[in-house]
Amino acid sequence: MKVILSENVAHLGDMGATVNVSDGYARNYLFPRKLAVPADSGSAKEMEHQRRIIARREEKVRAELGQEAKALEGQTVEIKARAGENEKIFGSVTSAMIAQKLLELGYKFDRKQIELDEPIKSLGIYTVPVRLMKGIMANIKVWVSAEEPEASAQAEAVEAIPAEAAAADAAESQKETAESASSEE
């Protein structure tokens, strides 16, 4: 069955392309989600009209994504990771982690849109491309920095304070018990 794609469909084609797909795929997936329209529905004039509508919609989407790319271009994402010797981090920074940080900044991207050749495994500043749409890319800066070891030392100190307070309370209650026992005698 020939269909005209009304949206970009991964592994199938771009918006406005006429492709040949199986009947079931068209009826059960593409048509209900309004991703395509039948190519043989009516005359050639109707097909051309639908292509023009799709082209206008694509231009509008491209303009919006172009503005978003400009806004995204200057963004810097900071990711803190535990690091060992030679600025190597334990584990790695993946595209999913970058997508999560972008979500915190108010940008919603799928991890597949972040084109990271391989996971980041050392500290530093990296330029990472983000694909918004075919032909529209934005480069963001990803700054991978080490977690501060002082933070873990402070956490241990905070944990030690309640233990010291509990020990002081126990000593004070023993002192009071001893005083009350001596006053009874």
The residue extents of the domains of the chain are: 2-70, 74-146
Tell me what percent of the residues of the chain surpass a pLDDT of 90. Answer: 8
Q: What is the pLDDT of residue 37?
A: 83
If pLDDT is split at 50, 70 and 90, which confidence band does 163 have? Answer: low
| 3-state helix/strand/coil string of the chain | CEEEECCCECCCECCCCEEECCHHHHHHHHCCCCCEEECCCCCHHHHHHHHHHHHHHHHHHHHHHHHHHHHHHCCEEEEEECECHHHEEEEEECHHHHHHHHHHCCCCCCHHHECCCCCEEECEEEEEEEEEECCEEEEEEEEEEECCHHHHHHHHHHHHHHHHHHHHHHHHHHHHHHHHHHHHC
pLDDT digits (tens, 9 = 90+) for 40-73: 756 456 667 777 887 888 888 888 888 888 888 8
Domain 2-70 indexed as CATH 3.40.5.10: yes
Under CATH, what is the fold of the domain 74-146?
Answer: Ribosomal Protein L9; domain 2 (3.10.430)
Q: Against a cut of 0.85, is the pTM above it?
A: no
Averaged pLDDT, 119-144: 86
- pLDDT class for 181, splitting at 50, 70, 90? low
